[in-house]
Structure 1
Amino acid sequence: MDTTSNTSTSFILLGLMELEKQKYLYFFLSTMVYSYILTVSSVIIYAILKERSLHEPMYILIASLLFNGIFGSSSFFPKLMIDLIISSKKISRTVCLIQNLCISTFAIFEMNTFTIMAYDRYLAICQPLQYIMLLTNEKVVKIISGCWGITFVILFLLLFLTAALPLCGDKMNNIFCDNMSLIVLACVDSSNSSALSATVFTIYFVTTILVTAFSYLRIFFVCMNLSKESRQKAVHTVVTHLLNFSIFLIGVLFVVLKYRLGNITLPLTVHVLLSVTPLVIPPVFNPLIYGVRTHALKIKLRHYLWNVILGGRWAQIHRH
């Protein structure tokens, strides 16, 4: 690392140099994955918005989760694909900060949504008679909007502190810009900034995990007293949520592991894989899992796609 303050207007992403050897393969894979996320997630979101029978808190939350996946993917994939095509290894300071804010917002809001979904299932299963009054569609929309606003404000303040740090060096072991990649370039002692960020995120994650764990534990105990059919339906729903939640937590764990192993010499490819896991895996699996495991949604998707196919064929026949 350089010992002089970095006055340059851009950073070098070393991970892109690693991908340069097979850039066309990575461009193809990125295009396919990003197209899949956009297409499948958009179809499910449209079906939820279109079908009145799916205008319920659980499906609104699923649509919100998938929209967040599109948002997170769009803050990462388009620039990556452009960089691969033009063989660019740099990111400007401004774009770096914007990308950092977007990616951090995606991660925090993903956690928000999983927590709200756990609370939604807790009310639906543990307090079914009061559920309609306790959690209406309007309340869910307000909660989601509030989470977006609070998340953005908190992250903006934290990232503002990061942006104010004097930096030494301009090389990042990544293919995109994230908060820790900036903090480790600080010329001054960044322990205060790191401690503040760590404290905020620790309190936040511990709180959301405790709320989620409490909700699912309560559901588990209530399920023990339900009929076999009701218990199977409740367990099926809970397993779907827990599966997606676990995938996301594993991705976050990989990122934490990446920076915990910062002083250990690891191949750059490993650093890149650990970094992109939470950005790629959840948006890929969320629409697949919810589209397959959520029975009502699966039926509506089949109905919607079938109508689209038949409608297209009927239009072609009519034109001829």
Structure 2
Amino acid sequence: MDNTTALTFTMTAYAAMENYKHGMFTVFLLLYLTTITLNSLLITVIHQNKELHQPMNVFMCMLSINEIYGSTALLPAIMSVLLSETYEIPVEWCMAQVFFLHTYASAEFCVLAVMGYDRYAAICDPLHYHSIMSNSKTAKLVALAALYPFILFGCYYSLTLQLSFCRKTMPKLYCVNMELVKNSCSNTLYINIVGLVLILLFMVPQLVMIVFSYAQIARVCQKLSRESKGNALKTCIPHLLSLLNYTIGSLFEIIQSRFNMNHVAVEARIFLSLYFVIIPPITNPVLYGLGTQTVRVHILKMFIRYKILPAKLMKPVTAS
């Protein structure tokens, strides 16, 4: 069968939510609004305050933009299919969603990698931090983290676009490339091989950067006083938690896509498949907004300026 506009995929995972789909629609709507609000707030605060225009905060903004990008690629589509009667999605929508979600996932890991490098420069060589993380260096890292996933996955995606499909079912709430390959009636051996190579290219360089950065940080921290170690750890905790959170969610999705998980309850499989694109976009702005004192102070100032919070709340924050 040719890949035409008439072809649709049936998303069979939605059947598990048939009896409470309107309640799930409300949950997904609240998750989407929360994600947009938290990440937009963090971007706005950093953009409006020049003293926050530091490399790490620039990377925070980039991470938040990517969170909005990934959530917008997923949650409105899930809500739309939930309200349908057939749980079908046109192949063009499915192909577009594959591109958006895969580039979101790759960009997320790239940004977290450059954030790890920034922490390495700040802790291991603080006297030369501003020369190491100059404006031009920061711009190059931003461009690398933004373009690398799109260029690399775009090459692989060009192979996916050539597939024709004989099967029409997808056992998930959204489209992923591996499920498209499984539904194809084309010879997909070369696509599977290229896919495994790309997973390595997406993960290995970033892992090397992260492992190198934290190995150097650990080495330097051994020579610091207890107080300095504590301060260094505080600056790393939000990044480490974000990295751990995203890595766990990605592993859930990779395992589900590559291995048979039918022995796991369908509700658990649904939650695990959504983890990487729902939980990090909500927790990351909280970690960086509330976990970073300078950003936290400016968020409170903004709320006080608009009389959302009483001014006395500033005192304990600035004193900490």
State the shift of 1:204 in Å: 2.7
State the shift of 1:191 in Å: 2.1
Alignment partners' CA distance in 2, 1:286 and 1:117: 13
Instruction: Show the 5 A alignment for 1:159-170.
Output: 159-170=157-168
Q: Is 1:261 the equivalent of 2:259? A: yes
SS of the residue aligned with 1:155?
Answer: helix
Q: Is 1:148 the equivalent of 2:150? A: no
Equivalent position of 1:55 in the other structure: 53
Q: Deviations over 1:257-312 (max 9, x none)?
A: 2134327444433332222111111101101111221111111111111112269x
Instruction: Show the 5 A alignment for 1:24-63.
Output: 24-63=22-61
SS of the residue aligned with 1:201?
Answer: helix
Alignment partners' CA distance in 1, 2:238 and 2:227: 17
Alignment partners' CA distance in 2, 1:265 and 1:43: 41
Paired residues, what number? Answer: 309
Equivalent position of 1:294 in the other structure: 292
Amino acid at match of 2:54: E
Q: Is 1:236 the equivalent of 2:234? A: yes
Equivalent position of 1:252 in the other structure: 250
Select which of 123, 126, 135 maps to 1:125: 123
Select which of 65, 68, 85 maps to 1:70: 68
SS of the residue aligned with 1:75?
Answer: helix
SS of the residue aligned with 1:184?
Answer: helix
Alignment partners' CA distance in 2, 1:253 and 1:198: 14
Equivalent position of 1:79 in the other structure: 77
Is the contact between residue 164 and residue 186 of structure 2 (CA under 8 Å) also seen in structure 1?
yes
State the shift of 1:6 in Å: 7.1
Q: Deviations over 1:148-187 (max 9, x none)?
A: 2232122122112012122221100011111111011122
More displaced stretch, 47-56 vs 182-191: 182-191
Alignment partners' CA distance in 2, 1:160 and 1:271: 29
Normalised to the residue count of structure 1, the TM-score between the two structures is 0.91
Instruction: Show the 5 A alignment for 1:160-309.
Output: 160-262=158-260, 264-309=262-307
Q: Deviations over 1:61-117 (max 9, x none)?
A: 111111111110000011111222344511111111111111011100000001000
Alignment partners' CA distance in 2, 1:263 and 1:280: 21
Unaligned runs of 5+ in 1: 312-320
Normalised to the residue count of structure 2, the TM-score between the two structures is 0.91
Amino acid at match of 2:266: L
Q: Deviations over 1:111-143 (max 9, x none)?
A: 000100000010111111221111123432332
Is the contact between residue 179 and residue 257 of structure 2 (CA under 8 Å) also seen in structure 1?
no
Equivalent position of 1:314 in the other structure: none
Cα distance change, pair 60–6 in 1 and its aligned pair in 2 (3 A): closer
More displaced stretch, 182-191 vs 117-126: 182-191
Is the contact between residue 5 and residue 187 of structure 1 (CA under 8 Å) also seen in structure 2?
no
Is the contact between residue 109 and residue 206 of structure 2 (CA under 8 Å) also seen in structure 1?
yes
Amino acid at match of 1:250: I
The percentage of aligned residue pairs carrying the same residue is 28
Alignment partners' CA distance in 1, 2:58 and 2:127: 20
Alignment partners' CA distance in 2, 1:301 and 1:138: 28
Alignment partners' CA distance in 1, 2:201 and 2:101: 19
State the shift of 1:192 in Å: 1.4
Select which of 88, 94, 97 maps to 1:96: 94
Alignment partners' CA distance in 1, 2:13 and 2:261: 17
Is the contact between residue 10 and residue 86 of structure 2 (CA under 8 Å) also seen in structure 1?
no
Equivalent position of 1:315 in the other structure: none
Is the contact between residue 181 and residue 188 of structure 2 (CA under 8 Å) also seen in structure 1?
yes
Cα distance change, pair 310–270 in 1 and its aligned pair in 2 (3 A): closer
